[in-house]
A and B are shown apart, each in its own frame.
Chain A
């Protein structure tokens, strides 16, 4: 997988319910956001997911997608956060 450039990390954290991934992925598909990788665990009933996505062909600007995903999270009852990947790369890689 290509490293670095313009990738975004979407994190979803909250109480586990049916259809969290489906709803998030539907939003991403509708907005031409390509999912590159997904990792997910459930700890003590808490859903914890990280997606690496490519937003280069997204139909909306980053800020709008970020806000809409946050809103979608509120509807599902989870916290959804969008961040450019560099912040994690910088902090955890020399």
Chain B
């Protein structure tokens, strides 16, 4: 039987340490919506999404009320639209119509974001893939809730450098289209290497083709809980440090598992995975960078940061894996800049650079996330940063991503406000030297050899 002490511990995590379930993401396959007539296709998509997800928001609220655990987001991920729209869409504008349909459907079922406006082009682009990618600036500009992602590389196929080059241009165009709003549309666009099929976190969530018709994936969070637990073992050995993180991650993940099972039962949709992630928010006490400081760094970015992050990430997984029957998605510590007050402080103090962040992404999920860069950064330089991040994922057989925000009209020293959970970000400097000739080369970088590891 539970006791008073345990009840108080759980409730303190919820009330004071920002323990929450970050997202219930309902993955929906749209493969059965495919039609060569664009109007019919849009109708099918709207019908399917609004039918399958009709109870998502209300079930989320019911679970929140019964367990008194906040469920911050209810979201939907669909099959990559480049696959769904290929037969019907002859132009980029046709694809953008599908984005509008997704946006309407998301509003109808009251979810705050819908992901899957995506293309998987790690080896090559079909005509439809390219049209979808070219439609991204319009699609994001003309919708509110649609998120887009493009998988540019994988360990098995290498890096599609033609797509990397194109994405540099697309990102700048997306920034330009929303320049009156600090280029915020770029927040809804992410590029991946080794993108997982079952990621519940936005902007990169899509419902992979290997998935069932519908599935529930859950993203848990709780950097504040880990930070508070570590405050109690200050100065202790690495063994004690690691054990504390593991035990805390176990507890946090168990809540996610419970919510996942309840959601699955009430929606009559199978449970997919739990994404074991430490996802920060700009709220005080909800920061991954603060955990790194608690481990012993003055600021995230100081020497030792990569090692501390590697340790944190690994212990979170070790604790979380046993707490859940199925683990997947991105699973690890997120290090977004704008969404984490500790990271923002590090940037402002000059403790962390883009290059250090890149090194950190070698040991954690997921990548260069929510990083504002000067709006006058060249497309080729953006592609260069993306290519570097893709190479890290490709060689290390892990998921990496880049969500960069070139803020038109702003430069180093300025700050951009994204609002709400997205926080604010100081503009970070980008290396000024050119990679133009490298990016202009055509074709792809071959897959790496998987032996002779050094």
CB-defined contacts of A52 to chain B, threshold 8 Å: 1-2
Cβ–Cβ contact A87 & B8, under 8 A: no
B residues less than 8 Å from A89 (CB atoms): 2
Using A39-B4, A48-B8 as known contacts, say yes or no to A63 and B258 having CB atoms under 8 A apart.
Answer: no
Encode contact with A along B317-339: 1 for CB under 8 Å, 0 otherwise. 00000000000000000000000
Which chain A residue lies CB-closest to B256? A90
Residues A15-29 near B (CB distance < 8 A): none
Roughly how many angstroms separate A41 CA and B2 CA in the complex, as a whole number?
15
Chain B contact surface mostly:
helix
Contact of B7 among A9, A63, A86 (CB under 8 A): A9
Residues of A within 8 A of B6 (CB): 88, 91-92
A81-B68 in contact (CB<8A): yes
Q: How far, in Å, is B90 (CB) from chain A's closest CB? A: 50
Do A86 and B67 have beta carbons less than 8 Å apart? yes
CA distance A3 to B2 in the complex (A): 10
Tell me the nearest residue of chain B to A37, going by C-beta. Answer: B1
With A and B bound together, what is the CA distance between A63 and B61 in angstroms? 10
Contacting residues, chain A, for B251 (C-beta < 8 A) = 91-92
A85 within 8 A of B: yes
Is A66 at the interface (CB under 8 A from chain B)? yes
Q: How many residues of B contact A (CB 8 A)?
A: 21
**Does B3 make an interface contact (CB < 8 A)?**
yes
A56 sits at the interface (CB 8 A): no
Instruction: Give the shortest distance, in Å, between A1 (CB) and chain B (any CB).
Output: 7
- Cα A89 to Cα B6 in complex, Å, equals 9
Known: A91-B255, A92-B2. A81 touches B67 (CB 8 A): no
Q: Does A78 contact B (CB under 8 A)?
A: no
A81 to B10 alpha-carbon distance, docked (Å): 12
Quick one: CB contact mask for B1-25 with A, threshold 8 Å, 1 for yes? 1111011111100000000000000
Contact assessment for B2 and A9 in the assembled complex, using a CB-CB cutoff below 8 Å = yes
Interface residues of chain A, those whose CB is within 8 Å of chain B, are: 1, 3, 9, 11, 37, 39-41, 48, 50, 52, 62-63, 66, 81-93
Can you pick out 14 interface pairs between chain A and chain B where the beta carbons lie within 8 Å of each other? Answer: A1-B1, A11-B11, A40-B4, A41-B4, A50-B3, A63-B66, A66-B65, A81-B11, A82-B68, A83-B67, A87-B68, A90-B254, A90-B255, A90-B258
Q: A63-B66, A66-B66, A87-B255 are in contact. List 16 more A-B contacts (CB 8 A).
A: A1-B1, A11-B8, A40-B4, A62-B66, A81-B68, A84-B67, A85-B2, A86-B67, A87-B68, A87-B258, A88-B2, A90-B257, A91-B254, A92-B2, A92-B10, A93-B2
